[in-house]
């Protein structure tokens, strides 16, 4: 029996996309324009392509879902400020690869003021004539190529009165600041991505058996994502049994799961381009050993305290420092570090066991955009920001480590929204207390 599908949240409305464009344009000086290309298809091998994924910044500003589009914003233009170039309608190509939205659809369904197909890109220079500053993603070679081309065409027509842009400026950081604070509609999509991801982790816990392969748990996880409409993982699913859990970006997922080992799964589904990002670590055979449990509870306590510290005004740095303190105290208690707490923190000796940071922003990208510091200072959290809390301990397989702890890797990761009064944990449907995990695993069919 398959579970009932979760109710689907509403997609982002054309009005919300328009409001985002308005907010961006309100920040630009007089006589400026924005050029923002969407993503292109990428070849996987020979004539096969990777599944298309729209560029996150482009999606944020217009939601247009096809490859090879170009968004142009012309603040103050009487005839319309939002212009899109997109793939041309072409019955023969559409017979192979599906119906294209086309310029008319871009206006009627995506809120564009005007749209052209890509065979009409030559008129772009007329649209940009007289715009002094062109805002574009400076790191994007496609965007730079388009902007340079336009500048060349307008310069060549200078004697006939054309005015070429004199400045290219980066649009990315402006969009990224907008993306950092999520709207209600975005939070609904992120809640959904997180719920699907939680169901997937529950399923993997119940499917774990000694002798199964890491990729078989990956299959359980990704089955659940797709079944619920999260059509792709938000990043490469990590399933690491035993010491593979200590490899932070392990993606081979090819080893058999051994009796007596833990398995770490870091996986999140992507729903309507929004990412879930969950890590759980559990015993392959359904029961923690004493040493595993002792280490696990150190990570769990640090994680729970860090989640509880999320509130407006806190910073990712202060939360990370709390985690470092809790993990280091636990490592001393278990005899994996010697000496005083302060000295172990000061000397960074804890980094032998915990070398990543505790949090990152989460949104359209798993490591989402938005600056982490303002004027060099850690940025205070504000309502609407979404972040992960993901402490871990990774114990090397080394001679000076007590044998019961060697090669154990544990991480626990939740997705958290900052709210007016504190926090909302998006990923609480997947258990993390050791007893709750053991209970769920016993319920397996």
Which residues are designated catalytic? 47, 249, 266, 277, 356, 360, 367, 390, 394, 411, 413
Task: Examine residue 266 and tell whether it contacts ligand GLY (CB under 6 A).
Answer: yes
Residue 356 to residues 87, 167, 376: CA-CA distances in angstroms? 42, 39, 20
Residue 240 CB contacts under 8 Å (≥ 6 apart), including other chains: 214, 246, 247, 250, 253, 263, 264, 265, 409
Site string for ligand GLY, 368-407 (x = CB under 6 A): ----------------------x-----------------
Give the strand pairing for 392-394 and 409-411.
antiparallel
* Cβ proximity to Mn ion, 59 vs 411, nearer residue: 411
CB 280 → ligand GLY: shortest distance, Å? 12
* Cβ proximity to Mn ion, 101 vs 267, nearer residue: 267
* Cβ proximity to Mn ion, 57 vs 277, nearer residue: 277
Give the strand pairing for 386-389 and 414-418.
antiparallel
Stretch of 58-66, 210-218, 343-351, 386-394 contacting Mn ion, by CB under 5 A: 386-394
Site string for ligand GLY, 333-362 (x = CB under 6 A): ---------------------------x--
Q: Which does residue 117 touch among ligand GLY, Mn ion, none (CB within 5 to 8 A, set by kind)? A: none
What are the tokens at 174?
A: 């402006």
Helix (H, G, I), strand (E, B) or coil at 237: coil
Task: Examine residue 270 and tell whether it contacts ligand GLY (CB under 6 A).
Answer: no
CB 249 → ligand GLY: shortest distance, Å? 8
Q: Which of 388, 416, 423, 431 binds Mn ion (CB under 5 A)?
A: 388
Question: Could you say which DSSP state residue 28 is in?
Answer: S
Q: Measured between alpha carbons, how far is 171 from 82 in angstroms, rounded to an integer? A: 16
CB 417 within 8 A of CB 187: yes
Task: Examine residue 366 and tell whether it contacts ligand GLY (CB under 6 A).
Answer: yes
Helix (H, G, I), strand (E, B) or coil at 297: helix
**Residue 138 main-chain phi, psi, to 5 deg:** -65, -25
Question: ∠ CA(22), CA(25), CA(27), 5° rounding?
Answer: 115
Task: Examine residue 270 and tell whether it contacts Mn ion (CB under 5 A).
Answer: no
Task: Examine residue 266 and tell whether it contacts Mn ion (CB under 5 A).
Answer: yes
CB 201 within 8 A of CB 278: yes
Q: Which does residue 235 touch among Mn ion, ligand GLY, none (CB within 5 to 8 A, set by kind)? A: ligand GLY
Site string for ligand GLY, 214-243 (x = CB under 6 A): ---------------------x--------
Q: Measured between alpha carbons, how far is 316 from 324 in angstroms, rounded to an integer? A: 12
Question: Could you say which DSSP state residue 413 is in?
Answer: B
* Cβ proximity to Mn ion, 84 vs 386, nearer residue: 386
Q: Which does residue 57 touch among Mn ion, ligand GLY, none (CB within 5 to 8 A, set by kind)? A: none
Task: By CB under 6 A, name the binding residues for ligand GLY.
Answer: 235, 266, 277, 360, 366, 390, 413
């Amino acid at each position: 029996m398959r579970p009932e599908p979760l109710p689907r949240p509403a997609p982002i409305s054309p009005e919300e996309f328009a409001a985002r464009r308005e907010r961006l344009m309100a920040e630009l000086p007089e006589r400026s324009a924005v050029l923002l290309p969407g993503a292109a298809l990428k070849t996987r091998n020979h004539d096969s392509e990777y599944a298309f994924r729209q560029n996150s910044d482009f999606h944020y500003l217009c939601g247009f879902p096809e490859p090879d589009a170009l968004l142009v914003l012309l603040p103050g233009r009487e005839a319309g400020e939002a212009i899109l170039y997109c793939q041309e309608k072409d019955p023969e190509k559409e017979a192979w690869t599906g119906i294209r939205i086309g310029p008319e659809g871009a206006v009627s369904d995506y809120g564009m003021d005007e749209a052209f197909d890509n065979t009409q890109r030559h008129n772009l220079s007329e649209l940009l004539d007289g715009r002094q500053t062109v805002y574009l993603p400076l790191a994007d070679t496609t965007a730079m190529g388009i902007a340079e081309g336009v500048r060349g065409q307008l310069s060549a027509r200078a004697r006939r009165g054309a005015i070429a842009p004199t400045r290219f400026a980066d649009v990315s950081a402006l969009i990224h600041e907008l993306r950092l604070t999520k709207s209600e509609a975005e939070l609904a999509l992120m809640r959904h991505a997180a719920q699907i991801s939680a169901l997937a982790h529950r399923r993997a816990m119940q499917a774990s058996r000694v002798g199964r392969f890491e990729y078989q748990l990956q299959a359980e996880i990704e089955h659940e994502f797709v079944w619920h409409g999260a059509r792709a993982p938000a990043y490469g699913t990590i399933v690491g049994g035993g010491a593979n859990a200590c490899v932070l970006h392990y993606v081979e997922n090819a080893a058999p799961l051994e009796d007596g080992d833990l398995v770490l799964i870091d996986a999140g589904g992507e729903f309507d381009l929004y990412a879930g990002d969950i890590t759980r670590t559990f015993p392959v055979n359904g029961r923690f050993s004493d040493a595993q449990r002792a280490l696990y509870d150190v990570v769990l306590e640090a994680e729970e305290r860090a989640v509880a510290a999320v509130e407006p005004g806190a910073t990712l740095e202060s939360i990370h420092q709390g985690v470092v303190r809790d993990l280091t105290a636990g490592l001393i208690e278990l005899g994996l570090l010697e000496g005083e707490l302060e000295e172990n923190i000061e000397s960074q000796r804890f980094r032998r066991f915990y070398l990543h940071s505790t949090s990152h922003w989460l949104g359209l990208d798993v490591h989402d955009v938005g600056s982490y510091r303002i004027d060099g200072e850690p940025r205070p959290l504000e309502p609407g920001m979404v972040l992960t809390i993901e402490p871990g301990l990774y114990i090397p397989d080394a001679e000076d480590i007590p044998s019961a702890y060697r090669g154990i890797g544990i991480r626990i990761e939740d997705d958290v929204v900052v709210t007016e009064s504190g926090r909302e944990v998006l990923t609480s449907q997947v258990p993390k207390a050791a007893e709750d995990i053991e209970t769920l695993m016993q319920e397996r069919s």
